[in-house]
Amino acid sequence: MAFFGTVLNTIGALFLTHAIYSAHEHTTAFANTPLPLDITLELLVGVIILSTGIVISADKLKPIQYAKWAGQISQEGRHGEGKYTREGEEILSEGDPYAFLGLDGGIGGKGEGRRGFFDVKGKRKEYDEWVRGKQ
């Protein structure tokens, strides 16, 4: 779909440029005659094709209802959209904006907790136990 949008955009831009060039040439050559119909039509067709292309190649709309939007985040999780940082980490789609509260692990759950209160000792112990269990 993105490719189709780009093709339409290119064709539309070409038509539009050509129509504008023709209109300019026409007004310099015959200053006092009205614009011929074919130039007007080409301009209109160019604008319509370009608008269609822009609409088609636009990003998918996000849900405007909070519950639907949040439900989508929960159901689909975070997934990459094909963009990477310089370090090679993929930039993911948006996640739970309140994840920083660390309340999703439940009471006494094994979540990451809150960043400001990061329990480095506990996490290290958990990792050590895992390594020892594997050996």
Partner 1 sequence: MATANLLAPPSNIAPPAALALSQKAPLILSNPPTSSLPWPLSLLFSRETPESWAIHENLFLSALRTGDEESAAQLLSRLASRFGEHNERIVTLRGIYNEATAQTPASLEKVFEGYEKILREDPTNISIRKRRVAVLKSLGRTSDAVTALTVLLQNSPTDVEAWAEASELYASQAAWGQAIYCAEEVLLFAPTSWSAHAHVATLHSLSASSTSPPSLSGLSLALKHFCRAVELNEGYLRAFYGVKIVASKLLPLLSDTQVSSRKRGEQDDEDVPVPTLASVQKLDEIATKKLGEFIRDFGSRKKGQSGYDEAEIVAAKELLSR
Regarding 90 and contact with partner 1 (CB under 8 A), the answer is: yes
Q: Does 87 bind partner 1 (CB under 8 A)?
A: yes
Choose the binding region for partner 1 from 17-25, 38-46, 48-56, 127-135 (rule: CB under 8 A): 127-135
Q: Which sign, positive or negative, has the C-alpha torsion 69, 75, 81, 84?
A: positive
Count of other CB atoms within 10 angstroms of residue 8: 20
Determine the Cα angle at 15 with ends 11 and 16, to 5°: 115
Q: Quick one: the chain helix, strand, coil %, rounded to 5?
A: 60, 5, 35
Site string for partner 1, 30-69 (x = CB under 8 A): ------------------------------------xxx-
Give the DSSP H or E segment for 13: helix 2-29
Q: Which is nearer to partner 1, 29 or 107 (CB)?
A: 107
- Angstrom CA distances, 29 to 22, 32, 33, 62, 131, stand at 10, 9, 10, 50, 84
Is 117 a binding residue for partner 1 by CB under 8 A? The answer is yes
Residue 96 makes contact with partner 1 by CB under 8 A: yes
Nearer to partner 1, 34 or 79 (CB): 79
Applying CB under 8 A, the residues found at the interface with partner 1 are 66-68, 70-80, 85-92, 95-108, 110-124, 126-128, 130-131
